[in-house]
Amino acid sequence: MILDLFAGPGGWSHALTVLGAPDVGLEWDEWACKTRAAVGQLTIRTDVARYPTWPWAGRTQGLIASPPCQAWSMAGKRLGLVDQSLVHQAVTDLAAGRDTRERLLTACRDERSLLAAEPMRYLRALNATDEPEWVAMEEVPDVLPLWKQYAAILRGWGFSVWTGILNAADFGVPQTRRRAILLASRVR
């Protein structure tokens, strides 16, 4: 299966369905879950930060993550940038199997900042069973340094990884939407 963390209303899920590879989305927002349900997307309404990782072990081919951008976005207060060292620490700790999220969260200026570290919790758990085969993550451009940290860890686990900034307008989307992207694969 393909696991979509912070699945939102289903953009990644729609693309996967078109490709014949439907996913399971984890999403907490009621209205996003209703939107997903209306088009038949499988969704578990939950907080990604509290959901256990064990149900996915031995079953996950791909992992998608688009953590909430409000803490990092230029449209907000950008407290994610203030919290950036804490998020980097959380990623380092989670990759090593240490869960320091609760302690680090108390120091964050925006509680949403640390959500950008959550994919590492899933990746660490899945890596124990040589999963997933591939990873795709996106966020606002200011998260690129964090994606580069993820890339270094994933390379150490045997992934081939690319990170960079892409603009959706260059791919036919009728808006300028620059995003930090991480693409990783164990098999290609």
**pLDDT tens digits along 66-89:** 999 888 887 777 877 889 999 999
CATH of 52-69+115-185, one of 3.30.1490.20, 3.40.50.150, 3.40.50.720, 1.10.287.110: 3.40.50.150
182: left (phi over 0), alpha (psi -120 to 50) or beta: beta
How far apart CA 155 and CA 53 sit, in angstroms, is 21
Return the sign of the alpha-carbon dihedral for residues 31, 70, 180, 172: positive
pLDDT in tens, 52-70: 999 999 999 999 999 998 8
Is 33 a known active-site residue?
no
Rounded percentage of the chain residues whose pLDDT exceeds 70? 100
* Annotated active-site residue in 16, 24, 63, 69: 69
Q: What are phi and psi of 44, to 5 degrees?
A: -110, 120
